[in-house]
Amino acid sequence: MLRRRLAAALLALAALAGVQLVTGGPAFAATRTLYYDSSTAQEFVSVVDQAASLWNTKVTNVRLVKAAAGQTPNIRVYADNGWPRTYTTSLGNGRWYMGREAVNDGYYKLRIATHEFGHILGLPDNRTGLCGDLMSGSSAPVSCTNANPSTAEAAQVQRNFAAGFAPAAAPAADGAEVVYIG
């Protein structure tokens, strides 16, 4: 009797975590929903929303959804006069800044926003200088207007969220946040 209860409790916990333990059919990853708050992104709210929508067309294991009023978001987006940057606390969680410095320098707003969401989704800067690589960031020419992740970048996000839930990223030294500038 105790074993049955324990087994039932473990199966229920696994189901809540999105883990598929036993199946008669093909396994698939559940979609993880991440809520973002763009209300403090000031004049960039619509660009942030476009970037979230763009990611939603490129990956299926994770969805970026605008948080409703009063809902606690996984991601907060701000605007300021500095350079764009992201502070991640774990995969799928953190905050990022739409920095006006890059916008004033002529960088494409939608590319900036999509790039910063990429950090939250677990992608690092790669600085290839190629416009086709979203995560090349500011190493690509200012004239670059590609806001789409490459096939490899989208595939990496798919792998990052393959289990259907966001595992904690490796903690930074002393429990600090991981910071991406640009």
Q: Which residues are catalytic?
A: 116
* Helix intervals (H) in 76-150: 100-104, 109-120
Q: Tell me whether residue 94 is exposed, middle or buried, using C-beta atoms within 10 angstroms of its C-beta: 0 to 12, 13 to 18, 19 or more.
A: buried
Name beta bridge partners: 64: 34
Q: Which position has the token pair 């502070």?
A: 87
Closest CA to 87 of 172, 153, 149, 163: 172
Where is 86: in which H helix or E strand?
strand 85-90
Give the C-alpha separation, 127 to 138, whole Å: 8
Closest CA to 89 of 122, 56, 64: 122
Closest CA to 32 of 178, 142, 140, 162: 162
The SS3 of residue 155 is helix
